[in-house]
């Protein structure tokens, strides 16, 4: 680590703030991988390199990653099942939000409840709660052990499927993008192994047009999420409202070279 609290500018815009600077080699394809110290402890997530500055690398600090994890692991986004509650505050995990008339609300979950166990397994904190929810499906019942005002309480939450939003329709409606799932041959052309979606057309004067997205771009990420396909775009854009900022990572070919870029769009 050669510096802390750096700002990484791309195309004249500040894209990453408060990142860790390292002279350890970070090469294309290492993004998303761990930056470890000599003890093997995670200190950051590799993010970018500056080829014009002796290939110095940058990583998102692990403390920032921890703040993102509840959103990244949200079962409503990952598994398309409605839970209707959020937990936070580290250890112990406490209920910070309950959506009205949701499975959690109907099960009697209250704000401030401490979640001590899930399906009989003790939880070490809020992140452990979300990890334990991975793979839960529609119709599955989750048994929660709670502590409310110092007294033990149990609640059985039955998950309900969330209708899948139309990613193609939402991409056009919110951003002015016509997108399709990328074919394997196109993915190879972009040297990309995480799928993504291909931009077919950009509506003039749309948020995507103002963000300089172009037909032929491969959209690889939205916010902190890697894009697996059009269906995931729909899941991510379903909660976006007019004026909300959407950061879009793209890979494109420029004069025969592959270039990674990021656009800051504002939904309409």
Kindly report the length of the chain.
268
In angstroms, the Cα distances linking 220 to 8, 207, 214 are 19, 18, 14
**What's the DSSP call for residue 102?**
S
Listed residue (188, 247, 197, 189) closest to 218, CA to CA: 197
Closest CA to 216 of 260, 192, 186, 246: 186
CB–CB of 104/98 below 8 Å?
A: yes
**Cβ count near 155 (within 10 Å):** 20
What SS3 class is residue 199? strand
- pTM tops 0.85, yes or no: no
Q: Tally Cβ neighbours within 10 Å of residue 101.
A: 8
pLDDT values of the chain reduced to their tens digit, one per residue, 268 residues = 777 777 666 554 445 667 888 877 777 767 778 888 889 888 888 877 665 656 677 887 887 777 777 777 888 877 878 999 999 887 889 999 999 999 999 999 999 999 999 999 999 889 899 999 988 999 999 999 999 999 999 999 999 998 888 999 999 999 999 999 988 777 778 888 778 999 999 999 999 999 999 999 999 999 888 898 999 999 899 879 899 999 999 999 888 888 999 999 999 9
CB atoms under 10 Å from CB of 201, counted, come to 13
Question: How far does CA 211 lie from the centroid of its chain?
Answer: 20
Structure tokens at 243: 């004026």
């Amino acid at each position: 680590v050669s510096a802390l609290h750096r700002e990484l500018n791309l195309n004249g815009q500040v894209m990453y703030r408060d990142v860790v600077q390292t002279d350890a080699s970070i090469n294309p394809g290492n993004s998303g991988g761990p930056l470890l110290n000599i003890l093997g402890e995670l200190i950051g997530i590799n993010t970018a390199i500056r080829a014009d500055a002796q290939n110095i690398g940058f990583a998102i600090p692990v403390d920032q990653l921890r703040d993102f994890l509840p959103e990244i692991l949200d079962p409503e986004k990952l598994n398309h099942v409605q839970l209707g509650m959020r937990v936070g505050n580290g250890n112990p995990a406490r209920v910070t939000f309950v959506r009205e008339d949701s499975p959690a609300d109907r099960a009697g979950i209250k704000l401030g409840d401490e979640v001590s166990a899930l399906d009989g397994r003790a939880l070490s904190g809020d992140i452990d709660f979300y990890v334990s929810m991975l793979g839960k499906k529609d119709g599955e019942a989750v048994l929660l052990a709670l502590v409310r005002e110092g007294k033990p309480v149990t609640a059985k939450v039955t998950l309900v499927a969330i209708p899948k939003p139309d990613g193609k329709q939402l991409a056009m409606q919110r951003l002015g993008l016509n997108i399709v799932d990328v074919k394997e041959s196109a993915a190879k052309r972009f040297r990309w192994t995480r799928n993504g979606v291909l931009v077919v057309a950009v509506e003039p004067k749309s948020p995507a047009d103002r963000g300089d997205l172009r037909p032929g771009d491969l959209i690889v990420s939205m916010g902190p999420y890697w894009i697996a396909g059009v269906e995931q775009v729909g899941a991510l854009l379903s909660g976006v409202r007019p004026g909300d900022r959407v950061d879009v990572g793209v890979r494109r070919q420029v004069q025969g070279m592959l270039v990674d870029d990021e656009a800051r769009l504002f939904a309409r």
